[in-house]
Structure 1
Amino acid sequence: MTGTAGYRNGRVRVLIVDDEPALTDVLSVAVEEAGWRAYPASDGQSALKVARGCAPHAVVLDGMLPDLDGLQVLRRLRSENPRLPVLMLTARDALEHRLDGLDAGADDYVTKPFSLEEVVLRLRGLLRRAGAQHTRADTSVRVLGDLVLTEETREVHRAGTPIQLTAKEFDLLSLMMAHPRQVLSKAQITDHVWSTSFDGGGNLVEVYISSLRRKIDRGRAPMIHTVRGLGYAIRPTEDGR
């Protein structure tokens, strides 16, 4: 399968919310095979947290969750992003339940049991119709594993948790995320982040890299790496996060 064209700075991000781990797993596989990036969540509260962190382009949302009702999650997602495409999953085929979901802002409904091909096709249709709006918004978002940087609002999240950075720390991280896995020398970083070369610039880069590591990698698998004698690189962790 091929992904939706027109999205820049990373793959299309799809939030998948369901309290059945087996179903979440197969949906995630189907989404990844479609060329998109899956962000699973098992309940309403974690779904809202993940959504704030990854800025999804579309959501697959179960109507019945163990904490918040699916419609509550839908309304909250809609309040933060009125144009976010949402595909509801439901084990209930009653007309009133479908109408409730559509009234709350769902764009489409799939009733369990369903085929994965149907889910992907419906998602592709929703993404296609929403493509014009998302293409513009996505140009300011950089995603690497579970690390998300939004240029427009100058916000950074890792695994849904906000990270407070200074202006220069943000600029440094933005530069590194614009060149994932690429080794950047101290001179390159100095030229781009401080727009000049000066004595002591190498030490300044070391200080800021150290500060970024404390904020980005503390208590997590490291993403910022030193390549001895060459410079620094940012890479997703081995599990993709």
Structure 2
Amino acid sequence: MTAIGPGAIARSRAFADVYAPPVREPWLGPASHGVAPMSGAVRVALVTHDHALVARIASTCTAAGAELTRPDTLDVRSQLGGGAEPFDVVVVDYQSTPDVSRRIRLLRARWPMCGIIVLNVGGVRECASLLDEGADDACTRSSHLVVERLHALMRRARTLNAGFRSAIGDVVMDREHRRVWCAAHEVPLSGREFDVLLCLFDHAPRVVAKTTLAAIVWRGDSAPHGNTVEVYVGYVRRKLAASRLVGIRTVRGVGYALTPR
């Protein structure tokens, strides 16, 4: 058993202030301790060629602290990406999207958790058909509740995200979608880098031995050679350099730990 000196105890207490699990209210979005509001913000995609609609949705997203992206088309494989769900809410302009029913079906099949709302629909029958195809909401051109309905979908997304995301200091991790934010900015991580951080995240503030990291991160693969573990820890450490609250500490001869700065 390793002895723990007064300095280590003081550091552990300091870390507890950063690491203590916060009270998480679904409507407030991801849990945070010193995390800027944009960390893990709701991600909204808007597919339209209507400039007035763009301005309206952009204003709504800004007021709600959401991130707005405008893909050119409703193409799941190219414009909207593949793999993990890249957006929490997709807003589709019926008038700007050809073959919208088929595209909604593809979108729903690929990303079952994504909220989908279709605007500027021709009539009530078309709205009903789109709901049957997989849309969560559909509004006719005469609807006066577009903003309110979009807010409702964003609230739903925040509730779902709150269950997937956790924070240590100003580092936020979304395990479900394998995404990480540091100091309010998303950090691109490779699959291996994410697994390294996840292991340190789950064990914080304890030290993780290099052999443990190797076994967990490279599970099922051939054991890492030479200084491979050190190299990947270095990659992750550099990508978290913007954090003012936490960092990766090297314990010589033992391993690594996610600790307060």
TM-score in terms of structure 2 length: 0.51
What letter is aligned with 1:7? Answer: P
Q: Summarize the alignment of residues 16-55 of structure 1 with structure 2, pairs less than 5 Å apart.
A: 16-45=46-75, 49-50=79-80, 52=82, 55=86
Pick one of 72, 78, 87 that aligns with 2:117: 87
Shift in CA distance, 5/108, structure 1 to aligned 2, threshold 3 Å: same
Gaps of 5+ in 1: 157-162, 199-241
Find out whether 1:57 has 2:88 as its counterpart.
Answer: yes
Higher-Rg member (1/2): 2
Find out whether 1:196 has 2:251 as its counterpart.
Answer: yes
Q: CA deviation at 1:92?
A: 0.8
SS of the aligned residue for 1:42 comes to coil
CA distance in 2, matches of 1:77, 1:45: 8
Quote the sequence identity (%).
Answer: 23
Shift in CA distance, 150/91, structure 1 to aligned 2, threshold 3 Å: same
Greater RCO (CA < 8 Å, at least 6 residues apart): 2
Q: CA deviation at 1:77?
A: 1.9
What letter is aligned with 2:40? Answer: G
SS of the aligned residue for 1:10 comes to coil
Note the aligned Cα RMSD (angstroms). 4.1
CA distance in 2, matches of 1:164, 1:129: 27
SS of the aligned residue for 1:14 comes to strand
What letter is aligned with 1:165? Answer: S
8 Å Cα contact 1:86-1:108 kept in structure 2: yes
CA distance in 1, matches of 2:160, 2:74: 25
CA distance in 2, matches of 1:27, 1:113: 16
1:124-167 Cα distance to aligned partner (Å, 9 max, x none)? 22343455433223449xxx9xxxx86456579xxxxxx88362
8 Å Cα contact 2:117-2:136 kept in structure 1: yes
Gaps of 5+ in 2: 1-25, 32-38, 181-187, 198-232, 254-261
Aligned to 1:215: none
Aligned to 1:108: 137
Aligned length: 174
Aligned to 1:99: 128
Aligned to 1:135: 162
Pick one of 91, 111, 126 that aligns with 2:153: 126
8 Å Cα contact 2:164-2:175 kept in structure 1: no
CA distance in 2, matches of 1:110, 1:100: 12
1:185-223 Cα distance to aligned partner (Å, 9 max, x none)? 9xx55x2xxx5348xxxxxxxxxxxxxxxxxxxxxxxxx
CA distance in 2, matches of 1:125, 1:34: 11
8 Å Cα contact 2:115-2:157 kept in structure 1: yes
What letter is aligned with 1:73? Answer: R
